[in-house]
Amino acid sequence: MSCSAPLTNSHQKKMVQQPHHTTPSTLPLHPPSPAHIGANIFHPKSLEEYHTVLFKSISSVVMIKSEWCPVSKKHESLLFQLSKSRPDLNFIFADMEKIPQIKGELNVKTLPTVFILLNETVHSRIDGASEHVEVHIKEMEKEKHLRELIYNNLRTVVYFHSRSGCSSVESKYDDYSKKYGNTIRFEKLIYEECPRLHRSFVRATQVPCFCFFKGGKLKKRLEGHNCNNQLEGAIHDLTSDNLDYDALDLLPSFDNFITIVDSGDKLQKVLDENDIVVVGVFLQQQLNEKTPAFGQFASSVSPQAKCVCINVNQFPSLRTQEGIDTVPTFMFFLNGHLFKKARGNRYELDRELKEMIAQQSKDEFKRVEKSHYFHFSRDITSPTPQTKKVVATTSSCPLKVGTRSANSTPQPAHHSKDSQQHSKSSLGVRTSTTSIKK
């Protein structure tokens, strides 16, 4: 059973009437330590503090609460107890009255709302108080563990099975795990405890199921009760050296959706060949941590948009030419024009770009007033103005109940709003960033 406290019209009105203070677009080089109780419990007092904690956390539990909601207080004590047994998991309690912008960023419609995040991406969400929060946390932890297992071992066999089990398959698995245990890492998972991992991560449809990974890539998938007849051949392929086999990848490689550029000429070429381009600017030390999420975003918007990754250490002139003082920074281009520059997380990328794509298809607005061309060097001349219409988007505002569905993934489009709001700020909600030392 779950209960919730819906956001009433009076509470919405109270929030909407609060003066909107634009959050600073950059984080200081040494941001203030967020207010917290204990090593892994945080009570941020501003959106900046919230993003600072989130940025430093591999996995987090975020609870959105309010003092006027009695259900929130009861549910908060439950999460306090869970935090004691999970010291490596950060628990963030954000008061919606103190941080009103968070309502629009996370699309909060009921209180309390709990988000389970992995690498700053929403793994699952729970609208309203629920006794099943720990179940969602355990599934996220299993996915985190499995990802680390796959990327830290050359060869991995993952076996999904139901609680009832299958005796013939179980015996085969035990035999092979003993025989090949020195060269292959074997992992057994119960399907009922991680259905999302089975369905979304490895994209399987049946149990029992065997997934064979090599070098972090899924090479083969065996499903159904007859899969034990094919186990020996699949393990033989996994241990052999075969170039064709090594090239297989049953899961999409997000790197294939990103173009890496290291000069102004290359970037200008991408802008000339694509109508919609999103440029992500990162530091060298951020590439392994941040680009997988950016690649996942790139795959979700392909082929409507082209995504470009820039290592600012290899392209230092970009800092001065475009005034980039923090990373990551994302730049949106529409028909060769710099449409918007933002320091954003996954929520911002999904929301802003997909809204721009939707508005472009509707063709509701004319060219962005006084838009300028993007110059990488003095040798590159401005392209000839195009006749295509450039569409303006709005800055993020607290959303009214019912404007978006409460899915765990960002929605593909939003309805357009008054274009005058577009000039007020580059993005309505900021994210965690790291200042570049000049």
Domain CATH number, residue 202 = 3.40.30.10
Region of 334 (left: φ > 0; alpha: ψ -120 to 50; beta: rest) is beta
Q: What is the rounded average pLDDT of the residues 161-169?
A: 83
Residue 113 lies in a domain: yes
Q: What is the rounded average pLDDT of the residues 421-427?
A: 35
The total domain count for the chain is 3
348 and 205 co-located in one domain: no
Domain boundary among the residues 246, 278, 312 is at: 246
Is the predicted pLDDT of residue 298 greater than 50, yes or no? yes
Contact 20, 424 (CB under 8 A): no
pLDDT at position 345 is 59
70 and 128 co-located in one domain: yes
Is the predicted pLDDT of residue 238 greater than 90, yes or no? yes
312 and 395 co-located in one domain: yes
Give the pTM. 0.56
Residue 142 lies in a domain: no
413 and 264 co-located in one domain: yes
Residue 140 lies in a domain: no
10 and 28 co-located in one domain: yes
180 and 291 co-located in one domain: no
164 and 127 co-located in one domain: no
Residue 221 lies in a domain: yes
Domain boundary among the residues 135, 168, 189 is at: 135
**Helices of type H across 27-99:** 47-55, 70-84
287 and 409 co-located in one domain: yes
pLDDT at position 409 is 41
The larger pLDDT score, comparing residue 434 to residue 358, is at 358
Per-residue pLDDT band for 258 (boundaries 50, 70, 90) equals confident
234 and 114 co-located in one domain: no
pLDDT at position 408 is 40
Per-residue pLDDT band for 131 (boundaries 50, 70, 90) equals confident
pLDDT at position 128 is 87
Residue 226 lies in a domain: yes
297 and 238 co-located in one domain: no
Residue 106 lies in a domain: yes
Neighbouring-strand partners of residue 412: none
Residue 402's CB is within 10 A of a number of other CB atoms, namely: 7
Is the predicted pLDDT of residue 386 greater than 50, yes or no? no
Q: What is the pLDDT of residues 211-235, one digit of tens each?
A: 999 998 899 999 988 888 899 999 9
Give me Rg for the CA atoms of the chain: 24
Residue 141 lies in a domain: no
pLDDT at position 91 is 95
What is the residue whose two structure tokens read 């103005």?
385
Q: Which domain holds residue 190?
A: 153-246
123 and 170 co-located in one domain: no
How many Cα atoms sit within 13 Å of 117 on the Cβ side? 25
**Main-chain dihedrals φ then ψ at residue 275, nearest 5 degrees:** -75, -40
pLDDT at position 184 is 96
277 and 383 co-located in one domain: yes
Residue 376 lies in a domain: yes
Would strands 113-118 and 110-111 be described as parallel, antiparallel, or unpaired?
A: unpaired
Domain boundary among the residues 246, 268, 284 is at: 246
**Helices of type H across 189-230:** 195-196
Give the Cα separation of 44 and 36 in Å (integer).
7
Give the Cα separation of 165 and 190 in Å (integer).
9
pLDDT at position 291 is 67
